[in-house]
Amino acid sequence: MTDKSSNQMWGGRFAAGPDAIMEAINASIGFDKRLAAQDIAGSRAHAAMLAAAGIVSDKDAEAMREGLLTVLSEIEEGRFAFSTALEDIHMNVEARLKEIIGDPAGRLHTGRSRNDQVATDFKLWVRDQLDAVDGALVTLMRACLAQAEAGADWVMPGFTHLQTAQPVTWGHHMMAYVEMFGRDLGRVRDARKRMNECPLGAAALAGTSFPIDRQMTAEALGFDRPAANSLDAVSDRDFALEFLGAASICAMHLSRFAEELVIWSSAQFRFVSLSDRFSTGSSIMPQKKNPDAAELIRAKIGRIFGANVALMTVMKGLPLAYSKDMQEDKEQVFDAADNLMLALAAMDGMVRDMTANKDNLRAAAASGFSTATDLADWLVRVLGLPFREAHHVTGSLVALAEGKGCDLPDLSLADMQSVHGEITEAVYDVLGVENSVASRTSYGGTAPVRVREQVQRWKEILG
């Protein structure tokens, strides 16, 4: 005899119900309720297929499909009583279906298992997230493009080692992020393409002896095809890991951008003003306007990296096929997805609202001997010096200017000639930052003409 407290879905061989601690460690309903819509879509597709294949009657399938919609609306309207004893979303939904439609509900689980069911539900969820991230990335890229277009020829310092290196344009700097987010978009789209195979019908691990039509369920759920190996279909979570991998790289890009915004908005730099809408004040220092959104983007990235490492670790030692360890996949992905979407939206808001301080950018670009390379190039081009010698002469001129407390264009011609006698007045043309950026016309360079071409190219790509 089965104990009354044993599980109503699988308790046939059990004489007693689970210990409270067993129930606590085993249940996933606390988090996998987020898969409700996907679970119900999967079950509705499965029910329709069972009828089409003659495995259940049309009448039963119709009752299941209708009943499942009722369950969905109960969940969506917050009227559904989730039960921990029923472990997860799959059994909660099925048990409720039984209450609503009675016996036909018991036929729904023909030719499938929770193993292919959960893999299908989770794939559908991850696929939706990939699409959401895709949209958010495009939105953010448009915000960067607008900044780039407005400031295609605004001059700012370009850094290496966070030391002034050479002048670049604001537009060029913004477009660097468009390239990064563009690759993130590519990764998201690649992942979606690769993952779009349907596990449903793989059953527990070996397939089923029922004459199911996997093509039909795959199509109904928007998959490109059914997964070709039932063991693989129920036991890999590489699709979730690809999502986390792509999310991690994107998050890394967001974090670098966030770091730049923190630096740029500081009183020492004043390259940008962030809008009030994306800043906070201090409760004690009235002058403060803090870039909290940027800081939180920078920090949240840790959770996304963490999720990636956590799920890799869950998966790495599992023998085929399904193991309960894999239930630990969901919370990591949910948290990473939520935080990535939040970070993308916050970055989009900040970029849209921020004002670049053109004059400060220009002034900073002109300091720190930023056109020293232009000077060295001039010595090569006009005086025919070998680059090594030109580098040395320029270094001496920088030292001279530094000693005088001025910048390179402030040195007199006599000062210049004291270091190299053949230098002429014409050198001053290349010492200006506008000329410097305008001269960098090589493909991918910072010249405003090149930047505008890239803005145009990306506008066409994004449509």
Residues that bind ligand ARG (CB under 6 A): 28, 32, 88, 114-115, 118, 322, 324, 326-327
We find the least distance from the C-beta atom of residue 436 to ligand ARG, in angstroms, to be 59
C-beta neighbour count of 449 within 10 angstroms? 12
Q: Which C-beta is closer to ligand ARG: that of 44 or that of 237?
A: 237
What are the structure tokens assigned to 431, written together? 């010492």
Q: Cis (ω within 30 of 0) for the bond into 321?
A: yes
Q: Which C-beta is closer to ligand ARG: that of 322 or that of 458?
A: 322
Q: Which C-beta is closer to ligand ARG: that of 32 or that of 153?
A: 32
Q: Which C-beta is closer to ligand ARG: that of 35 or that of 51?
A: 35
Residue with tokens 């509900």: 105
We find the least distance from the C-beta atom of residue 150 to ligand ARG, in angstroms, to be 48
Annotated active-site residue in 5, 57, 266, 282: 282
Beta bridge mates, 273: 355
Q: Which C-beta is closer to ligand ARG: that of 53 or that of 205?
A: 205
Cα 41 to Cα 46: distance, rounded to the nearest angstrom: 9
Q: Which C-beta is closer to ligand ARG: that of 118 or that of 198?
A: 118
Q: Which C-beta is closer to ligand ARG: that of 111 or that of 171?
A: 111
Q: Return the DSSP state at 385.
A: -
What are the structure tokens assigned to 15, written together? 């004489």
Residue with tokens 């920078």: 298
124 by Cβ neighbours in 10 Å (0-12 / 13-18 / 19+) ranks as buried
We find the least distance from the C-beta atom of residue 39 to ligand ARG, in angstroms, to be 10
Secondary structure of the chain: what % helix, strand, coil (to 5)?
Answer: 65, 5, 30
Look up 57 and say whether it is catalytic.
no
Cα 412 to Cα 415: distance, rounded to the nearest angstrom: 5
- Residue 25 CB partners (closer than 8 Å, separation 6+): none
Residue type, 88: D
Q: What is the 3-state secondary structure (H, E, C) of 157-170?
A: EEEECCEEEEEEEH
Look up 161 and say whether it is catalytic.
yes
Cα 384 to Cα 90: distance, rounded to the nearest angstrom: 77
Beta carbons of 212 and 45 less than 8 angstroms apart: no
Cα 201 to Cα 218: distance, rounded to the nearest angstrom: 9
What are the structure tokens assigned to 286, written together? 């009235």
We find the least distance from the C-beta atom of residue 283 to ligand ARG, in angstroms, to be 44
Q: Is 15 helix (H, G, I), strand (E, B) or coil?
A: coil
C-alpha distances in Å from residue 278, one per residue of 64, 260, 267, 346, 353 = 48, 15, 17, 8, 8
We find the least distance from the C-beta atom of residue 117 to ligand ARG, in angstroms, to be 7
Residues in the chain: 463
Which residues are designated catalytic? Answer: 161, 282
